[in-house]
A = this chain, B = another copy of it.
Amino acid sequence: MSLSIGVDVGGTNIVCGAVDADGRVLRKLKRKTEAHLGHSEVLRRIADMVGEIRETLGSEHEVIGVGLGIPGLVDPKAGISLNSSNLNWRNIPVASELEALIGLPAFIDNDVRMYVYGEAIAGAGRGSGHVLGITIGTGIAAAIVLEGQIFYGYKALAGEIGHVRMEGVDEQCACGLSGCLETVASASGMVRQAKKAIREGRESLLNKAFPGDTLENLTAADISKAMDDGDQLATEILTRAGALNGRALAAATMVLSPEVIIVGGGGALAGERIMAPLREQLLDLILPEYREGLKVVTAEHNDDAGIIGSALYARHQL
Residues of A near any B CB (own CB < 8 A): 73, 128-130, 142, 144, 146, 151-161, 163-165, 167, 175-177, 247-248, 250-252, 254-259, 285-290, 293-294
Contact = CB atoms under 8 A, between A and B. Distances in A.
A164 B289 contact: no
A255 B142 contact: yes
Contact of A258 (B154, B251, B252, B256): B154
Contacts of A255: 142, 144, 158-161, 164, 252, 255-256
Q: Which of A153, A159, A293 has the most CB of B within 10 A?
A: A153
A165 B250 contact: yes
Contacts of A251: 161, 164-165, 248, 251-252
Interface residues of A, dominant DSSP: mixed
B257 A176 contact: no
25 contacts: A146-B151, A152-B257, A153-B258, A154-B257, A154-B258, A154-B259, A155-B259, A155-B289, A156-B257, A157-B257, A158-B257, A159-B254, A159-B257, A160-B254, A160-B255, A160-B287, A163-B286, A164-B250, A165-B247, A165-B250, A175-B287, A176-B288, A252-B255, A255-B255, A256-B256
A273 to B, nearest CB: 24
A68 B250 CA distance: 30
Nearest to A164: B251
A164 to B, nearest CB: 5
Contacts of A289: 73, 155, 157
Contacts of A161: 251, 254-255
Contacts of A156: 257
Contacts of A288: 176
Contact of A158 (B158, B177, B256): B256
A233 to B, nearest CB: 25
Contacts of A248: 251
- The 10 lowest CB-CB distance pairs between A and B, nearest first, are A153-B257, A154-B259, A157-B257, A167-B167, A130-B154, A158-B257, A160-B254, A164-B251, A154-B257, A252-B255
